[in-house]
Amino acid sequence: MTEQHQPVPAPLHRPRRLRTTPAMRRLVAETSLSPDQLVLPVFIREGLSEPRPISSMPGVVQHTRKSLLAAVTEAAELGLGGVMLFGVPETRDATGSGALDPSGVLNLAITDVVAEVGDALTVMSDLCLDEFTDHGHCGVLGSDGRVDNDRTLALYAEMARAQAHAGVDVVGPSGMMDGQVRVVREALDASEHTDVSILAYSAKYASAFYGPFREAVDSTLEGDRRTYQQDPANVREGVREAQLDVAEGADVVMVKPALAYLDVVRAVREAVSVPVAAYNISGEYAMVEAAAEYGWIDREQAILETLTSIRRAGADIVLTYWASEAARLLAR
C-alpha cells in the first residue's frame, strides 16, 4: 500500500520576499550607515619624523604633523563626519601642563587640522589629562594617591580654553570627573567661545578593551581608573551620567566602549534628546583585526556589521578607527 503524504500548507507569510535581491535589501533596510556618521580618531605624537605603527592596532599609527594632515585630508575627501585628535607629548609631569600649552602637541595639531580641512570636517579634540600626566591618570592626584576631582576641573577649564583658542569645533571631556561638563561650558562661554560644542564622554566604563589604546598614547598609567570610570555592571548609572551632562550643557553625549555596551547605547538614546555617540574602541578593533589575520572571519563584512550594530543600537555618531576604510567600503 502506497504511503499517502499530506500536502504541506503554503506559508501564510513570506518575509523572505524582502530579502530576494541586494536592491530589495537596501530598500527595506532599517538601519543606515554612511561616512558622514563616522568620526576618525587620530594620534599625533610629538617628535616623530616618520609615522610610528601601533603594534596592537594594525593599520593605525602615531602620526607626525605631516602625516596627520594627509590622514585628515583623506578623511575629508571620503566624506567623514569628523576627526577626533589625541596628542602624545614627549615630556609629561604630575599636572599634565603640556595640555594647557598653546605650543603643545595637541593644540598645535588642532590649529594645523583646522587650517587644512576645517571647512570640510568637524574637528574634535580629546579633553583629558591622561596623555599628559606622568602617572597616566585623568587628573591631578591628591595626597592619598586618588584623583582630586575639583582640582582637576580647574585644569579642564584651562584645557578647554586652550583648545578653543587653537580653533577646535568640539571638545571631548573624557575624564569622568563629576561636574566636568558644567565647568567646561562655563569656561568656553566666559572666553567668548560659545560656538564650541561639547561631546561629553558621559558613560565611559572601566573596561579591559582599552588595552591597545594604552600603547597608542604611550600610557604611563599606574593602577586603574575604577574610582572615576564607571562600573561595567551598571546601566542606569550610565543613563544618569548622560542626563546630568545634558543638564550641564553637553551638546552630544557618548557611550564608551560600544560593543560590550550596546544596551547602554540604547538606554541612553531613549533617555536624552541630544545626539548620541558611541566609541568603537581599540580593543574592539584589535579583536576583529586579529581574528581576520588568522582567517577566522571575513574582515570587511565584520567591519561593516560591527559599525551597523552600533548604529542599530541607537548611536547617531560612531567613532571608529575603521572610519576611512568603512567609507571606502560603503562607496563600492
Exactly one of 135, 182, 204, 311 is catalytic; which is it? 204
Residue 17: Cβ within 10 Å count: 9
Report which of 108, 130, 131, 112 is spatially closest to residue 121, judged by C-alpha positions. Answer: 112
Choose, from 256, 261, 276, 320, the residue flagged as catalytic: 256
With CA atoms as reference, report the closest residue to 280 among 20, 84, 105.
84
Is 204 a known active-site residue?
Answer: yes
> Quick one: three-class SS letters along the chain?
CCCCCCCCCCCCCCHHHHHCCHHHHHHCCCCCCCHHHEEEEEEEECCCCCCEECCCCCCCEEECHHHHHHHHHHHHHCCCCEEEEEEECCCCECCCHHHCCCCCHHHHHHHHHHHHHCCCCEEEEEECCCCCECCCCCCCECCCCCECHHHHHHHHHHHHHHHHHHCCCEEEECCCCCCHHHHHHHHHHHCCCCCCEEEEEEEEECCHHHHHHHHHCCCCCCCCCCCCCECCCCCHHHHHHHHHHHHHCCCEEEEECCHHHHHHHHHHHHHCCCCEEEEECHHHHHHHHHHHHCCCCCHHHHHHHHHHHHHHHCCCEEEECCHHHHHHHHCC
Catalytic residue flag (residue 66): no
Based on the number of CB atoms within 10 Å of its own CB, is 331 exposed (0-12), middle (13-18) or buried (19 or more)? exposed
The answer for residues whose C-beta is within 8 angstroms of residue 154's C-beta and 6 or more apart is: 183
**Cell for 67?**
602625516
Catalytic residues: 204, 256
